[in-house]
Chain A
C-alpha cells in the first residue's frame, strides 16, 4: 500500500497536495481504491463550485459500491480530471497520479498542515 510522504490525507481517504499558489490537487488513496475494487464510474464536481471542508464533492462507483468523495479542505473547484469520465480505471492504476479527481483553490492554505501526514494516515488505513 503506497502512502507518499509529500501528501496529506483526510480520515475519509482523500489525499491533497501541498498548496501551490493556493491550489491543491485532490484524489483518493491507494488504500481507498483497493477497498473499492475496480472503479467503473466517476462523477466530478462542477468547476466554480464552492465546497466546505468535508462536503461531498464527487462520487466514485465500483463494481462493489458507490462512495461519496469529500472535499478535504474548503475551497473553490478550479479544474476537474475529465479524462476519468472515459477512463475511470486510472484511479485503480495510478491513484496518486493520473487518477487525481479535482483541483481546489483553497480558502485557507494553512489548513493543509492540519491534515493527516503519511504516518498518521497509515495508522488510519491500518484500522480500516
Chain B
C-alpha cells in the first residue's frame, strides 16, 4: 500500500467537481446584506469529481476495522457488530428528537424495553440511557453518589474515592472531575485487590469505591462480596465500571455482587460500533436508593402509553441533550433481543474460552503471563526479557492484524493486554498465535528485525516523541 496525497495537495486552481447553475432572482448580497459576505472566498481544495472519489476511496482502504481484520485490543471488546442491527437502526432514522412523544411511541417502547433488559442483566433497579460514553456514564454515576451523600448530610464528610492501582484511567479521572480525592489501593500477588489494604483504606471519609470485575488483568475478584460488605459498612457506595461486563454477561450480575451503581459500554458488550470515532453509549444503572438522582428524562410507562418523565426533583439534571445516542440504543436492543438470555450466556462463555485459549497459545510461543491463572475475557502478557512491547506491536502491523492494548494496565511492565472476544474462530486465534510466535522467533534471530518494523505499512515507525513535543496541527496546500 503506497502513500497518496492529501486532498489539499491534489488541488489545482479552477478545477471543479460540479458547477452549480447560475440562478435567477436575488443574489446573496441582497438576501443577507453586503456586510454578511466575506471579502475573500475560503480556500478549499479544488479537485475534479474523480480525484475526490479516489481520495475518499483510498482513505476508506486505509480503514482498519473489525470487519477487515482481527482486533484483539484489550479492555475494548472489539467484537463483531452484526449487520442486522444497522437495518434495525435505519428504521428509526426519520424520527426527530422534538417529535411529540405521542407520535414516537414506538421508539419510547423500545427504550423502555431496553431500560428493563439492562436492569435485568445488571441486577439494578433503574436505568438511564442518557450518557454518551463509558466515562460519561462514570461521571453520571459518581455525581449521583455525591448527590446521595449530600442529601444524607454527609457531603462534607465523604471526600475520598478508592480505586485499585490497576483501574482504568477514567476511574480516578472521574472521581477527580466530581471533586473527590483519589486513594489508590494495590493489587495483591494473586492479581486481585489486596484485601487488607482495601479494608484499611475504607473509612468514614470514603464516598465511593470504583471497581471493575473482572479487573483490568482479566481476573475475577473472588472477594467481591466481602469487599462490598466492607464498603457498605462504612457507608460508602460501590461503583461498577462495566467495561469488562462481556466476561460475565448473562452469568453474574453487578447488582448481586453488591454494587450500587453500574455503567455499561453498549459499544463494547452490546455490539454497537466503536473505534471509528462514532458515538459511544454508556447507560447507568442504580439500586433503588439512588434512583431519585438519575438524570432526566427517563422513559416511563403510564398505562398503555410511554412518556418522558422529567418531573424528578432530586435528579442530578440532564447529562446530555435529548435522549442519548438513540441509534446505538436501537442496535443494543436488537442485539439483546436477537440473542436472548441463553445467547448472552454463550457470549461470556465463548469470550472467556477464547481468551484462555489464546493465553495458553501465547505461553507456548514464549511470552510470560502476568498473574498466570484462569482468566476471564482478557489477559495480560509480557514479552521475553530484553524485548519491548512497543516493537512487537509494530511488527504485528506488518502481518495485517491489530496489536493488543500495550502498556496497560500500568502495574504490569511492558504489558500486552489481549482480548480476543467471542466472535473470533479457533482458526483466527491460531493464526494470531502463529504470527506472535513468528515475530518472537525473528526478533530473537535478528536484532534488527524489531527495530525496523513496521516495513509494509503506508507509513513506517512514527516519531511519536516529536509529534507530541512539537505537534503540527495544521496542513496547508501544496506550495505554489
Contacts and interface: CB of A to CB of B under 8 A. Distances in A.
Interface of A: 35, 38, 40-41, 63-65, 88-89, 128
A63 B413 CA distance: 15
B407 A41 contact: no
Given A64-B407, A65-B407, A128 B468 contact: no
A89 B407 contact: no
B413 A41 contact: no
Given A38-B465, A64-B390, A89-B465, 14 more contacts: A35-B413, A38-B464, A40-B465, A40-B468, A40-B469, A63-B464, A63-B465, A63-B468, A64-B407, A65-B407, A65-B410, A88-B469, A89-B469, A128-B413
A86 B18 CA distance: 47
A63 to B, nearest CB: 4
17 contacts: A35-B413, A38-B464, A40-B465, A40-B468, A40-B469, A41-B468, A63-B464, A63-B465, A63-B468, A64-B390, A64-B407, A65-B407, A65-B410, A88-B469, A89-B465, A89-B469, A128-B413
Interface string B438-475: 00000000000000000000000000110011000000
Nearest to B169: A66
Contacts of A89: 465, 469
Interface string B384-402: 0000001000000000000
Nearest to A128: B413
Majority secondary structure, B binding face: helix
Most buried by A among B407, B413, B464, B469: B469
Contacts of B390: 64
Contacts of A65: 407, 410
A34 to B, nearest CB: 12
Contacts of B468: 40-41, 63
A60 to B, nearest CB: 13
A88 B464 CA distance: 14
A64 B406 CA distance: 9
A41 B358 CA distance: 36
Most buried by B among A40, A88, A89, A128: A40
B466 to A, nearest CB: 9
A87 to B, nearest CB: 9
Contacts of B410: 65
A88 B413 CA distance: 23
**Which 6 residue pairs spanning A and B have beta carbons closest together?**
A40-B468, A38-B465, A63-B464, A64-B407, A40-B469, A63-B465
Contacts of A63: 464-465, 468
Nearest to A92: B465
Most buried by B among A35, A41, A63, A128: A63
A39 to B, nearest CB: 9
Contacts of B407: 64-65
A125 B358 CA distance: 32
Nearest to A56: B182
A86 to B, nearest CB: 9
Nearest to B407: A64
A38 B410 CA distance: 17
A128 B468 CA distance: 27
Contacts of B465: 38, 40, 63, 89
B245 to A, nearest CB: 26
A35 B390 CA distance: 13
Contacts of A38: 464-465
Nearest to B388: A37
A40 B407 CA distance: 16
A38 B468 CA distance: 10
B298 to A, nearest CB: 37
Contacts of B469: 40, 88-89
A44 to B, nearest CB: 17
A65 to B, nearest CB: 6
A36 to B, nearest CB: 10
Nearest to B182: A56
A37 B479 CA distance: 36
A89 B463 CA distance: 14
Interface in B399-430: 407, 410, 413
